Amino acid sequence: MNKTNKIIKKNIKAISSETLNGENYSRNDFARSILNYPAVMVPSVQEPIIERLSEALDKNVSLLDPFMGASNTLVTGMKYGMNVFGQDINPLSILLSQVKTTFYQKDELIDAEQRVMSSIKSDISDVIEVSFTNINKWFTVDVQIDLSKIYRAIRKEPNLRIRKFFWVALAETIRLTSNDRTSTFKMHMRPIEEINARQVSALKTFGSISKKNIKNFVDFISVLLEKGHIKKGKYTKNAEVVWGDTNSGINTKRTFNLLVTSPPYGDNQTTVTYGQFSYLPLQWIPLEDIDTAIEMDYLKTAQEIDAKSLGGKVKVNIKEIQDSIFDKSKTLKKFINQFNVEERKKAEKVIRFIHELDNSIDKMLPRMRKDSFLAWTIGNRNVNKQIVRNDLILNELFESKGIELFTGLERDILSKRMPGRNNFSNMMSKEKILIYKKIK
């Protein structure tokens, strides 16, 4: 490494607050606009951090995001020609990330779009292709018929890469045409009068989303081509995404020198319900077209994915984990000890979440090389009307593993950013970007 720690820190601290606060961020940025996945990172915020850490690592980077979500971190890493690897527990994140890290030719997408659209137009069947409990609550019959036409047209496509591309467009179509409100991530039906008065066409929505996604892809690929990161029709480095529970392990033998992530905050049962957000789209997308290695009955209930995610419903005996996690984090101990018996019961989910976060970090660290950087974007949340200082807790967890904070940045969260996680929960309007360095 040529640069001293002092210079690296100075370069990171020099990132302007306008950039960090997302003021230079384009709403049409490729990374965000393919599917509105919950709580994604803002590309303009993470890009300068990734860029500066890449310089610190002499531009030879293998990047890991162990909670990859909509894979915005990976996509940003690809712009800088990095090896990228992402993992997530949510099958919809896997599908979306597979597509976003795949190279598509403009012509193959345009040809496929024409085939899919003409197959839809000539389809006069009114057979409904999927069935699940409460389908009629979540979709009008007209929408079900239209979605079934789209489903049949996509299934006819012989090439899996192409099918994946259009499944993502179908997922966004479902988000916009189901009876579920788009204003929350939790499943919440629109009022019946609104459903009856609403004019939605799943076919038109799908047509325009497909066109928009093709345009976004072509733009992104032209950036990669321009930067020389695509040669002979392939990304020059490795880009891999896998399904997996980070609390159980990182599903690769690869090692990394950069980790960039924004973890869940432990509110996935209540406000930022990644799983519930994905439940309706996943009903319409065949598992074999996502990844047959997925070992989770994710459609069992609408809560299944969230229950299996960090901070979910895993039954652990609080007494068994409490002492060791309190030893690691005095901030957590203080937070819990302020409550009376009844409130404490409600706050125990925070202990479970932090215990799982700590365990997940233990799974990541062996994959991180000596002198690697780990950049975490994390905010605080409220439980029992008290702030959980996730930022301080994370510092303490790392300290307990012998890893000190290298440097940190703070950003304001713009309330106009939609759909941002902070619009839906009682979180503070600041987010921290905490950068650690693993020196051993």
Residues of the shown chain interacting with ligand SAM in the complex, contacts defined by CB under 6 A: 39-41, 65, 67-73, 87-90, 93, 245-247, 261-262, 264, 274, 309-310
Q: What is the spatial distance between Cα 389 and Cα 68, in angstroms, rounded to a whole number?
A: 22
Nearer Cβ to ligand SAM (81/264)? 264
User: Closest separation between CB of residue 224 and ligand SAM, Å?
Assistant: 18
Identity of the amino acid at 33: S
Shortest distance, position 70 Cβ to ligand SAM, whole Å: 4
The minimum distance between CB 356 and ligand SAM, in angstroms, equals 7
Choice between 34 and 403, CB closer to ligand SAM: 34
Nearest to 350 by CA among 381, 371, 372, 308: 381
DSSP lists the bridge partners of residue 381 as 388
Nearer to ligand SAM, 98 or 261 (CB): 261
Residue 372's closest CA among 282, 439, 321, 320?
439
Nearer to ligand SAM, 69 or 281 (CB): 69
Helices 330-337 & 318-328, crossing angle to 10 degrees? 130
Report the alpha-carbon distance of residue 345 to residue 106 in Å, rounded: 55
- Smaller CB separation from ligand SAM, 69 or 207: 69
Q: Helices 341-364 and 330-337, interaxial angle, to 10°?
A: 160
* Neighbouring residues of 87: CB distance < 8 A, sequence distance ≥ 6: 65, 66, 67, 68, 241, 242, 243, 244, 246, 250, 251, 252
For ligand SAM, the closer of residues 85 and 151 by Cβ is 85
**From CA 14, how far away is CA 411, in angstroms rounded?**
13
- Shortest distance in whole angstroms from residue 312 CB to ligand SAM: 7
CB of 254 to ligand SAM, least distance (A): 17
| Shortest distance, position 91 Cβ to ligand SAM, whole Å | 9
- The residue with its CB nearest to ligand SAM is 69
